[in-house]
Chains A and B, each alone.
Chain A
């Protein structure tokens, strides 16, 4: 299996990476190798194998609904590139959140 330059350009855009033409060439060839390596698995017959939801054979890990201390605002903001002491500051975003 090989990846097209378009595939890689799309993945790059989704990851918000600005790839130059040269980088796109390199990535296309390197990613194709990785995908090719993994696609060896396609040779296996998995019809009778249950899909794996998680590699660990553990389930039902919960915590109780008990509050724990939060960080101070100063601690929370300290690694942010920019803040005003209360909020994280980011370049103007317009429109609705894509979330939920």
Chain B
């Protein structure tokens, strides 16, 4: 955290940069027509191209390039008018060609940024600069059974050749919390754009983090701890936990060793989630020598301003813009807009339809957050499959506005609508719900006051809250009683009695 906005700040600044790998939502691989569907039996989505068999030639998937451009444009990157691919050479059994087709010196995009804002204000808005976004192919998967000792490793090449966007940030994040929040914003953005499903469990989104500490010394000089790259993090939560752990570990190490950046090679540490620690990974000295050279099997790609405009025009509005437009169009708070937008595009569409039909953003937003989201969470599933669609909910809200029943009664009706897929009119009819007339309410009040002299005495003695006992009894007799009206009437009558 920045010392300026955190008085109890640590005696160092945490410096974090992220490297995100993102599988693009294409039907086929980057250079061949094999399916990219997740979960198929091993080695069933492979062909001579992605197996790296001699004589096969890659051909670029147009959809992959366009999705990659969308991602880069959404991150405010500059798209290069000329780009090419390169071979990154290394040997690993899940890389059948012995090289990965990637981008080295002429990536298709560079110099972007993405801001993250916390509506709760736990950190100041942070703009994270993007160094570059490039397009490359994924490797296959290797599985090793540690329990079997020196067993063979098994290789599944279904994933080999899946289109992958690599997004590299500048080290602009200043805390583990910021890193997690920024990743959430990135994920939301990419989901909104339909670039990737960002499913970390299935490996569609993978994150490595680089972290070190800047420590101001008495002389004014800033000491920097060696940069550590953390791998093996399987959720944004584990990114945050790993960074918290690693920051504390580096601070501890600094106090003991005073080792600074540049005195040792960059270290890679793996996050052990169950143990909650990072562990040093074996370092191969030559591993960074990838001997990149231009990929002779792919021709370069050029992008014209017209093509760029067309891709831009096809892009949906990003979350940041949507938050602002929800606030201004429907007059809801930044916090409310954030909650709604963070649920995804379909929920925002539901909200906007509802708000238009009930003629107000605030009431629609309240119902969305207090009722729809809660029910949706309990039931699971998508908003598109929710049994009560905006028109049905708008009808219910209109009845509350008209005073037919109060909000707590409406919640019961809503629960019934959701549980059995019925309309408000249907539920209201079946439950014989109707506003209770004033005479009827007065009779009920009179009857209950007569039956509860102790409560009356309590209220007269100044304990107004004792009247709540009467409300419970009243609702038992007639579920349609509006608690607010009933309470007012009871108190009024008790006052009159006391005179």
Contact = CB atoms under 8 A, between A and B. Distances in A.
Interface of A: 10, 13-14, 16, 53-56, 58-73, 76-77, 79, 82, 84, 86-100
Given A53-B294, A59-B300, A59-B302, A96 B270 contact: yes
Contacts, number: 156
Top-7 shortest CB links A-B: A68-B33, A99-B139, A65-B63, A87-B154, A62-B62, A88-B155, A89-B152
Contacts of A61: 59-60, 298-299
A34 to B, nearest CB: 16
A92 B142 CA distance: 10
A53 B34 CA distance: 28
Given A79-B53, A100-B136, 13 more contacts: A53-B300, A63-B61, A65-B61, A68-B32, A69-B47, A70-B34, A70-B44, A71-B46, A89-B152, A89-B155, A90-B155, A93-B93, A97-B142
A100 B42 contact: no
B423 interface: no
Contact of B232 (A59, A96, A98): A96
Given A10-B286, A61-B299, A65-B28, A92 B61 contact: no
B161 to A, nearest CB: 11
A14 B289 contact: yes
A63 B44 contact: no
Interface in B266-320: 270, 281-282, 286-287, 289, 291, 294, 296, 298-302
7 contacts: A61-B60, A66-B27, A67-B34, A88-B155, A92-B150, A97-B139, A97-B142
Contacts of A70: 34-35, 44-47
Interface residues of B, number: 69
A71 B156 CA distance: 14
B301 A60 contact: yes
Contacts of A93: 92-93, 142, 144, 153
Given A63-B62, A73-B44, A99 B289 contact: no
Contacts of B150: 92
Interface in B28-71: 28, 32-35, 41-48, 51, 53, 59-65
A62 B59 CA distance: 6
Contacts of A97: 92, 94-95, 139, 142
B338 interface: no
Given A67-B27, A68-B33, A87-B156, A96 B281 contact: yes
